[in-house]
Structure 1
Amino acid sequence: MSQFTVTGRFENRDGYAPFETSVDAENENVAREYVLSRLGSQHGLKRTQIELEEVDPQ
């Protein structure tokens, strides 16, 4: 497994909030799906409310 750093922003009451997180995943697509799933469940967001800007391997 590789480590990826995912950056982006998500909708909240005040507009958008930036985020940066590191995840272990098999490839870039799996990292994207994991971050969308985790942010959605933690903050009660739909995928359309999350914008992923960059996925970098480390």
Structure 2
Amino acid sequence: MSHFTVSGRFQTRYGHQEFTKTVEAPNENVARDRIYSQVGSQHGVKRPKIDLESVAEAEEAAA
């Protein structure tokens, strides 16, 4: 599986909070869905209040 770096922001009661997360997923659509799920459950935010700004495949570090 590939790693994707997703950045965006979500609405809080005090404004917007920006984030950047890396997830492991088979494709970009699954990566988006996993970010919606993670941010939603961690911060209690519904999907319409999450704005994903970029999704890019991350380069894997050499082991």
Aligned length: 58
Task: Give the TM-score taking structure 1 as reference length.
Answer: 0.96
Q: Is residue 39 from structure 1 mapped to residue 39 from structure 2 by the alignment?
A: yes
Taking the aligned partners of 1:39 and 1:18, their CA distance within structure 2 comes to 11
The Cα offsets for residues 21-52 of structure 1, whole Å up to 9 and x where unpaired, read as: 00000000000000001111111110011000
For structure 1, list consecutive stretches of 5 or more residues without a partner in the other structure.
none
Q: Is residue 9 from structure 1 mapped to residue 9 from structure 2 by the alignment?
A: yes
How well do the aligned residues superpose, as a CA RMSD in angstroms? 0.5
**Residue of structure 2 equivalent to 1:30:** 30
| Other structure's SS at 2:17 match | strand
Instruction: Please list, as runs of the form range in 1=range in 2, the aligned pairs for 1:38-57 lying within 5 A after superposition.
Output: 38-57=38-57
Percent identity of equivalent pairs: 53
Give the structure with higher Rg (CA): 2
For structure 2, list consecutive stretches of 5 or more residues without a partner in the other structure.
59-63
| Other structure's SS at 2:10 match | strand
Task: Give the TM-score taking structure 2 as reference length.
Answer: 0.89
| Other structure's SS at 1:51 match | strand
